[in-house]
């Protein structure tokens, strides 16, 4: 292969190449606000592998961001257990679940598949929705994914859309949010309205965010960290009794439309910014609901989404070769989900099908020479279809068994001849079409005795390589300064997961302590490998890596949490986390969290709630030196937050990084500094 790779190098140079809510929301308003104040720090999940963060400002109890609904999606995600976020700027952070990034995590919007359009991971799909669109974000840790998830070795995130739902007594509601943050002059404005009745509902809203460059800890401005975003959405539902149905049994039709557009987004960790990242997300679903029958509901949803991503380096100084790098992603799909209850079983059966197209190209403009063009994602069409089953079995008052399984079949075709030909030079004899079969199976057993809960589980799952891993072409990675080439000969990656948890409550439930651990034992782990026979194309790059399978790798995560209600108005919460990641040679994998800690003291008087928090990481001693990662020093910051509820208003204020520390975390791409001191304030109103 050496010769062909060299030939290829020369050639490259020459071409240059929900649920329905029928609850009475009106009177719940005040009560819920008061109740979530205390619930906000407790874990409200039915299974150890599930976690949820509530986004809406009112109407649902559970874990929330201290910034309330005005928080960005990224800030909401931060609240989830086992989730960390990779930052390349102050916008569009990449969710990492169990120390695994997007390749190993499934993200869906209300069960809809959606794929990012940037070859540099500037646009995780969580960046194409806004807080105003969502009810909550649900995380299934590890292989026990939601029914629509595929390739979810690390976990699956489902962004639950906010729907006004049907109400027996017709009701109008309006809401508004406004927020300001001193660091970067972040401004947030949002407004929404909803109408609900017994047979019809609709809700919609608009949201706007704008930020200038932020300042790091010592007051220095971080250039290219600005962004701007607008988002508009509308949902609607119509419900009617079906013939032969009993009282309370309905058919429902629901539709969603989301438009999201980010412009002038800076990425200080990268060489390029984004001129425009735009998404259209639509769906139409049909659902039948039964009461007291074996089958509870049957929902079929069809959806379509389209993403346009346009990178831009024209505002950067000292660019040697200007580049145009647009990317496009569109996905059409459907799923059909049946939920059934029988005796001690809660069963779901899901069928899904989607077709996704990904295309990206690059034009370079070397001064004084003809432009050079190359295809970086060769218009890959992926048809994927799968069947998923899950069953929650109550084995007795104290025992529960959760089982889930999915098998999926995938067909891929490289529709762009130029891209296919370019890649074929590296991989002579490669095909234009590929197919893969992937699957997962997981079981989790939970035992509750007296004041403690014990759970353990195991699973196996596999994933197909991503389009970047299989067909990417000279994608520059600023993290290790290598150009990456995909490998169409990759084998599927697979992993065995083992997990266990022990949760104990003591002192009349005033103290709860939880210990959670999981470990993933990979086979054919996919990662970039040095290819010394090739030289880099990007100016300043160190060399070339080609994606390959390594025989095995291990990732393990441990966490210890405690919640102690010392006095009725005083609570102390702590979370400690530790993770390990090793490749087949015992070397540390990159982007694995060092030992982390968060401890907070919360107080609560009437309508007022306040919290002081210390958060930090120890020095990252086990960093992926082999993979170009550098050591991250220890850091610790102090955050203060408070909120006050008055009639229909919630006022939230706080200071992040109180002592204006200059720091960077292991998850800050290329060690870009975090925000310095930031004072924020926001007001939510709902009527």
Tokens matching residue 294: 């074996």
Residue number with CB closer to Cu ion (154 or 327): 327
Q: Considering only residues 478-507, where is the footprint of Cu ion by CB under 5 A? A: none
The three-state secondary structure class of 133 is helix
Cα radius of gyration rounded to whole Å, the chain: 25
Q: How far is CA 592 from CA 347, 437, 494, 525, 651, in A?
A: 36, 29, 19, 15, 36
What's the closest the beta carbon of residue 472 comes to Cu ion, in angstroms? 13
d(CA 39, CA 571): 11
What's the closest the beta carbon of residue 307 comes to Cu ion, in angstroms? 11
188 lies in the binding site for Cu ion (CB under 5 A): no
Tokens matching residue 221: 């401005």
311 lies in the binding site for Cu ion (CB under 5 A): yes
Stretch that binds Cu ion, among 91-99, 199-207, 310-318, 406-414 (CB under 5 A): 310-318
By the 8 A CB rule, do 61 and 32 touch? yes
Residue number with CB closer to Cu ion (118 or 475): 118
Residue number with CB closer to Cu ion (77 or 118): 118
By the 8 A CB rule, do 481 and 540 touch? yes
For Cu ion, the nearest residue by Cβ is 118
d(CA 406, CA 442): 9
What's the closest the beta carbon of residue 436 comes to Cu ion, in angstroms? 26
270 lies in the binding site for Cu ion (CB under 5 A): no
What's the closest the beta carbon of residue 119 comes to Cu ion, in angstroms? 7
Residue number with CB closer to Cu ion (330 or 525): 330
Residue number with CB closer to Cu ion (473 or 522): 473
| Site size toward Cu ion, by CB under 5 A | 4
What's the closest the beta carbon of residue 268 comes to Cu ion, in angstroms? 14
Q: How far is CA 658 from the centre of its chain?
A: 28
120 lies in the binding site for Cu ion (CB under 5 A): yes
What's the closest the beta carbon of residue 316 comes to Cu ion, in angstroms? 14
By the 8 A CB rule, do 618 and 652 touch? no
d(CA 219, CA 439): 50
Residue 284: Cβ-neighbour burial (10 angstroms; 0-12, 13-18, 19+) = middle
Residue number with CB closer to Cu ion (283 or 468): 468
Stretch that binds Cu ion, among 120-128, 255-263, 413-421, 576-584 (CB under 5 A): 120-128
What's the closest the beta carbon of residue 71 comes to Cu ion, in angstroms? 24
What is the DSSP track for 131-147? GGGEEEEEEEETT---T
Residue number with CB closer to Cu ion (466 or 639): 466
Stretch that binds Cu ion, among 243-251, 309-317, 378-386, 480-488 (CB under 5 A): 309-317
What's the closest the beta carbon of residue 312 comes to Cu ion, in angstroms? 9
Stretch that binds Cu ion, among 70-78, 311-319, 331-339, 652-660 (CB under 5 A): 311-319
Residue number with CB closer to Cu ion (324 or 497): 324
Residue number with CB closer to Cu ion (468 or 588): 468
Beta bridge partners of 87: 668
Residue number with CB closer to Cu ion (120 or 192): 120
312 lies in the binding site for Cu ion (CB under 5 A): no
Residue number with CB closer to Cu ion (117 or 334): 117
Tokens matching residue 678: 């930031």
What's the closest the beta carbon of residue 309 comes to Cu ion, in angstroms? 5
Measured at the CA of 442, the angle between CA 447 and CA 64, to 5 degrees, comes to 70
526 lies in the binding site for Cu ion (CB under 5 A): no
372 lies in the binding site for Cu ion (CB under 5 A): no
122 lies in the binding site for Cu ion (CB under 5 A): yes
What's the closest the beta carbon of residue 276 comes to Cu ion, in angstroms? 11
What is the DSSP track for 338-390? EEEEETTEEEEEEEEEEEEEEEEEEEEEETTS--EEEEEEEEEEEEEEEEEEE
d(CA 236, CA 552): 48
324 lies in the binding site for Cu ion (CB under 5 A): no
Q: Quick one: which of 506, 548, 654, 599 has its CA closest to 179?
A: 654
Q: How far is CA 85 from CA 30, 81, 563, in A?
A: 33, 12, 24
118 lies in the binding site for Cu ion (CB under 5 A): yes
Q: Quick one: which of 407, 437, 433 has its CA closest to 420?
A: 433
Backbone angles phi, psi at 303, to 5 degrees: -150, 160
What's the closest the beta carbon of residue 158 comes to Cu ion, in angstroms? 25
Residue with tokens 């190359």: 374
Q: Quick one: which of 380, 435, 390 has its CA closest to 408?
A: 435
Task: Return residues touching Cu ion (CB under 5 A).
Answer: 118, 120, 122, 311
């Amino acid at each position: 292969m050496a010769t062909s790779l060299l030939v290829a190098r020369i050639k490259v140079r020459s071409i240059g190449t929900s649920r329905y809510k029928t609850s009475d929301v009106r009177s719940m308003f005040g009560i819920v606000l008061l109740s979530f104040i205390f619930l906000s720090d407790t874990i409200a999940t039915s299974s150890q592998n599930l976690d949820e963060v509530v986004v809406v400002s009112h109407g649902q109890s559970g874990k929330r961001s201290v910034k309330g609904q005005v928080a960005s999606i990224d800030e909401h995600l931060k609240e989830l257990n086992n989730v960390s976020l990779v930052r390349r700027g102050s916008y569009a952070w990449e969710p990492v679940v169990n120390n695994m990034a997007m390749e190993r995590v499934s993200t869906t919007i209300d069960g809809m598949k959606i794929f990012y359009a940037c070859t540099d991971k500037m646009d995780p799909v969580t960046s194409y929705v806004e807080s105003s669109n969502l009810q909550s974000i649900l995380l299934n840790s590890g292989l026990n994914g939601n029914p629509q998830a595929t390739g979810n070795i690390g976990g699956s995130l489902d962004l639950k859309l906010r729907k006004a739902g049907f109400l027996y007594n017709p009701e109008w509601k309006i809401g508004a949010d406004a927020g300001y943050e001193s660091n970067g002059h972040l401004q947030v404005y949002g407004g929404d309205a909803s109408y609900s009745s017994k047979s019809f509902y609709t809700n919609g809203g608009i949201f706007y965010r704008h930020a200038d460059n932020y300042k790091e800890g010592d007051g220095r401005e971080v250039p290219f960290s600005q962004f701007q975003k607008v988002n508009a959405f509308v949902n609607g539902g119509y419900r009617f009794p079906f013939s032969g149905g009993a009282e309370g049994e309905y058919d429902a039709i629901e539709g969603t439309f989301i438009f999201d557009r980010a412009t002038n987004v800076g990425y200080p960790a990268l060489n390029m910014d984004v001129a425009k990242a735009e998404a259209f997300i639509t769906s139409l679903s049909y659902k039948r609901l039964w009461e007291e029958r074996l089958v509870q509901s049957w929902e079929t949803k069809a959806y379509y989404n389209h993403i346009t991503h346009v990178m831009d380096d024209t505002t950067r100084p000292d660019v040697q070769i200007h580049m145009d790098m647009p990317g496009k992603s569109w996905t059409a799909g459907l799923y059909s989900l049946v939920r059934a209850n029988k005796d001690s079983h809660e069963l779901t059966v899901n069928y899904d099908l989607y077709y996704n197209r990904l295309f990206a190209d690059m034009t370079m403009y070397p001064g004084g020479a003809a432009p050079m063009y190359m295809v970086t994602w060769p218009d890959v069409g992926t048809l994927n279809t799968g069947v998923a089953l899950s069953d929650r079995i109550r084995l007795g008052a104290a025992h529960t068994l959760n089982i889930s399984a999915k098998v999926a079949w995938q067909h891929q075709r490289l529709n762009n001849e130029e891209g296919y030909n370019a890649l074929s030079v590296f991989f002579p004899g490669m095909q234009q079409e590929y197919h893969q079969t992937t699957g997962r199976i997981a079981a989790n057993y939970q035992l509750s005795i007296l004041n403690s809960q014990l759970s353990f589980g195991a699973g196996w799952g596999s994933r197909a390589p991503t389009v970047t891993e299989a067909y990417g072409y000279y994608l520059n990675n600023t993290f290790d300064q290598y150009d990456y080439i995909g490998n169409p000969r990759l084998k599927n990656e697979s992993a065995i997961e083992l997990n266990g948890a022990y949760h104990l409550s003591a002192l009349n439930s005033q103290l709860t302590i939880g210990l959670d651990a999981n470990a993933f034992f990979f086979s054919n782990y996919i990662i970039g490998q040095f290819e010394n026979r090739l030289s880099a194309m990007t100016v300043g790059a160190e060399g070339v890596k080609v994606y390959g399978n390594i025989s095995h790798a291990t990732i393990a995560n441990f966490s210890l949490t405690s919640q102690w209600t010392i006095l009725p108005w005083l609570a102390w919460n702590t979370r400690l986390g530790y993770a390990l990641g090793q490749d087949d040679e015992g070397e540390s994998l990159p982007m694995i969290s060092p030992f982390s800690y968060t401890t907070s003291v919360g107080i609560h008087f009437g309508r007022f709630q306040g919290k002081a928090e210390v958060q930090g990481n120890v020095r990252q001693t086990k960093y992926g030196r082999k993979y170009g990662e550098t050591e991250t020093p220890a850091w610790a910051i102090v955050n203060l937050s408070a909120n006050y509820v008055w009639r229909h208003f919630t006022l939230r204020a706080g200071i992040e990084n109180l002592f204006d520390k200059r720091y960077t975390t292991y998850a800050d791409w290329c060690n870009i500094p975090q925000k310095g001191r930031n004072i924020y304030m926001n007001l939510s109103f709902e009527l």
